[in-house]
Chains A and B, each alone.
Chain A
Amino acid sequence: MSIALLLLLAAFVFLVLIDAPIAVALGLSSIFYIFIADTAPMIVVAQRAVAGIDSFTLLAIPLFLLAGLLMVHGGLAPRIIALCSALVGQRTGGMAIVMIIACMLFGSLSGSGVADVVAIGTMMLPAMKQRGYDPGFSAAALGCAGSLGTVIPPSIVLIVYGTATNSSVGQLFVSGIIPGLLLGLGLMVVAWIQSRRFGWSGGEPFDGAKLAAAAKDAVLALLAPVIIVGGIRSGIFTPTEAAGIGVAYALVIGLVVYRSLTIRMVVKLLRETTETTGAILLVIAAASVFGWILAAERVPQMAVAGITQATDSATIALLLMMLVLLILGTFMESIAIILILAPVFLPILGQYGIDPVYFGILLTVNLAIGANTPPLGIDLMAACRVAGIPLSRAFGHLVPFLGVMIAVLVAMILFPALVTGLPHLLF
């Protein structure tokens, strides 16, 4: 390992520690490296930054962000939540279960786990507090469920992973369905058991007529995910085009059918999309420069050599990579981790014959666990901030939630068909 490379890594870690934006940490450490190593003209920074985002696939990110916002403000998301409430809201732990379902459906609104936790938590936590749920429990459930947006399609994190590893985004989306459902169901079971134990009841009593009305009202909203995932899976659209169609669908339903949207609100959402896109894609632009340096320094090859010397077993190699991801996932955003590590891990996967699509799903589940693992756990911290409680108050309630997520991850490692079965069936 060259001195310049060590300095690159040291500068990156230092900049992350002093809370410089992740994009600045990636970009400035790369600039520092090029200045010290003098291996390329500085202009390469500008060239790589633009090349990193000059991609048709990445267009899906702002389009899915906008589609998500239009669904929430256009009345599609509230109708689905109302249907879930009518279905299970009256049962023990019903509110917690509805919150988990809301996170599963709309958890990938912003591409940032933290922002999703804040968005959904702001809607759900006050109502849960009113029903007597312990805020520590609610925050633990919200943090874990809020991370599921990275696994369940249309996950922005999976789009970034697909672009970084040249994997099919369509296959990644389909592969994430069963693990995402398992994780969501697992969290719901924990929520139900804990609610029963502590006597947290549901909302209003069950009403068949109310359920029928909610179901009728939500039909058009429920069609949105069918159009998006079905369109990609059937080859009618690319993921980017499916995102565009999702925007058009949410717009028509919100403006014309539900009339929950106004032109003024649409413009506001377009402006919100601008800022979020800038924050996400600037990380990708800067990571493109950083990744280029790692490749030039042959870091992926070094990583392959290091791991192959340590073990012949693909499972142990997988576990080693998972450990690195788990540690990084506790304090860094998923997108940044993927962009830094994907080029390093990709050759290792090739060496051990591990399918990059399968690995991508393991990686996202792992990052979801990392984002809720103390002492840092950024999604958990955000959930506690929304709940207005110290981190320590959620710890006791966190163990069963994290336990079930780890159990799903282990099951995915032991039974890869949980991930690969559905895409093999459909593609």
Chain B
Amino acid sequence: MTSLTEKLGTALDTGIRWIGAGLVAAFTAAVVYVVGSRYLAGHTPRWAEELPRLLLVWLTFLGAVSAFWRGTHFRAGLTDLLVSHPALRGAIRLLAAAATIIFLGVLGYNGAKLAQMTWSHTTTALSLPVGLFYMVLPVACALSLIAFLLGGWRK
């Protein structure tokens, strides 16, 4: 039987992957549109670089949430080779989990501070708040922490 934490984690992962799919589709369409616009209409839209870059930043950190849930972030994979004792392996895994939690906490907290500081500044092409680029950090780090604690740390 699937546990509640597993269900919640899967639901979060599914939601994130849907949003990510939308972001990938959006910047793919934007890049293709820019090429078409340059060769067919003879002009490049002013958002040609800025908008896809903003979408990429959001995609990266939201995609990382899914990778934290599924345990697919790149690792050296040395523990299984170097340590054979199960209890010691378990302790090492907890240590690595603690490192992940601290990293996400510090990154998310400072991302929130930076988003707040830069919200009144605007970007050059689209006059969007600069803080939009940093806003993804508190959002994605909080979601990553939830995904990780719901069971991602075991995978």
Co-complex (A, B): yes
Enumerate chain A interface residues (CB-CB to B < 8 A).
Answer: 15-25, 27-28, 31, 42-43, 45-47, 49-50, 53-56, 58-59, 62-63, 66, 112, 237, 240-241, 243-245, 247-248, 267, 270-271, 273-283, 285, 331-333, 335-336, 376, 378, 381
Known: A20-B100, A283-B74. 18 other contacts (CB 8 A): A21-B100, A28-B103, A45-B110, A46-B113, A50-B57, A58-B56, A59-B27, A240-B31, A241-B35, A244-B31, A244-B32, A248-B32, A270-B25, A274-B23, A278-B20, A278-B67, A285-B61, A331-B77
- Closest chain-A Cβ to B37's Cβ sits at a distance in Å of 11
Q: Is B21 an interface residue (CB 8 A)?
A: yes
Q: Kindly provide the distance from the CB of A328 to the nearest chain B CB, expressed in whole angstroms.
A: 10
Smallest Cβ-Cβ distance to A61: which chain B residue: B56
Q: Which residue of A lies closest to B115 (CB)?
A: A46
Contact of A274 among B35, B66, B111 (CB under 8 A): B66
Q: For residue A51, give the distance in angstroms from its CB to the closest CB of chain B.
A: 9
- B40-84 CB mask vs A (1 if < 8 Å, else 0) is 000000000100110011011111111100101111111101100
CA separation between A237 and B34, bound complex, in Å? 11
Known: A24-B100, A282-B60. A45 touches B107 (CB 8 A): yes
Inter-chain contact total with CB atoms closer than 8 Å: 201
B102: Cβ under 8 A from any A Cβ? yes
Decide: B63 and A20 in contact? CB cutoff 8 A: no
Main secondary structure of the interface of A (DSSP, over half): helix
Cβ of B11 under 8 Å from chain A: no
How many whole Å from A65's CB to the nearest CB in chain B? 9
Please name 13 pairs of A and B residues whose Cβ atoms are closer than 8 Å in the assembled complex, sorted by A.
A22-B74, A46-B111, A49-B111, A50-B134, A58-B56, A62-B24, A248-B32, A271-B17, A273-B24, A274-B24, A278-B20, A281-B56, A376-B81
Contact present for A56 and B52 (CB under 8 Å): yes
Q: B28 touching A277 by the CB < 8 A rule?
A: no
Give, as a whole number of angstroms, the nearest-CB distance from B20 to chain A.
Answer: 3
Residues of A near B65 (CB, < 8 A) are: 278
Does B16 make an interface contact (CB < 8 A)?
yes
Partner of B133 from the list A17, A50, A240, A273 (CB cut-off 8 Å) is A50
Are B73 and A282 in touch, CB under 8 angstroms? yes
User: CB < 8 Å: which of A28, A241, A274, A277 contacts B31?
Assistant: A241
Minimum Cβ distance to chain A for residue B91 (Å): 9
Contact status A62-B52, CB under 8 Å: no
Report which B residues bind A (CB closer than 8 A). Answer: 16-25, 27-28, 31-32, 34-35, 49, 52-53, 56-57, 59-67, 70, 72-79, 81-82, 92-93, 95-96, 99-100, 102-103, 106-107, 110-111, 113-114, 117, 133-134, 136-137
**Within the complex, what minimum Cβ distance (angstroms) separates B136 from chain A?**
8
Secondary structure class of chain B's binding surface, majority of residues? helix
Interchain CB contact (< 8 A) of B75 among A22, A56, A63, A273: A22
Contact A19 B24 (CB under 8 A): no
| A19 lies within 8 A of B76 (CB) | yes
Task: Specify the chain B residue showing the minimal Cβ separation from A28.
Answer: B103
Contact A276 B63 (CB under 8 A): yes
Q: How far is the CA of A256 from the CA of B114 in the complex (A)?
A: 46
Which B residues are CB-close (under 8 A) to A273? 20-21, 24
Q: Is the CB of A270 within 8 A of B24?
A: yes
Query: Are the C-beta atoms of A279 and B74 separated by less than 8 Å?
Result: yes
Indicate if the CB atoms of B114 and A46 lie closer than 8 Å. yes
Across the interface, name the chain B residue whose C-beta is closest to A273.
B24
Min CB–CB distance A330 → chain B (angstroms): 10
For residue B56, which residues in chain A have a CB less than 8 angstroms away from its CB?
A: 53-55, 58-59, 62, 281
User: Which residues from chain A contact B103 at a C-beta distance below 8 Å?
Assistant: 24, 27-28, 31
Q: Which of A59, A112, A376 has the most CB of B within 10 A?
A: A59
Contact between chains at A21 and B75 (CB < 8 Å): yes
Asked whether, in the complex, the Cβ of B93 is within 8 Å of the Cβ of A19, the reply is yes
Q: Is the CB of B64 within 8 A of A282?
A: yes
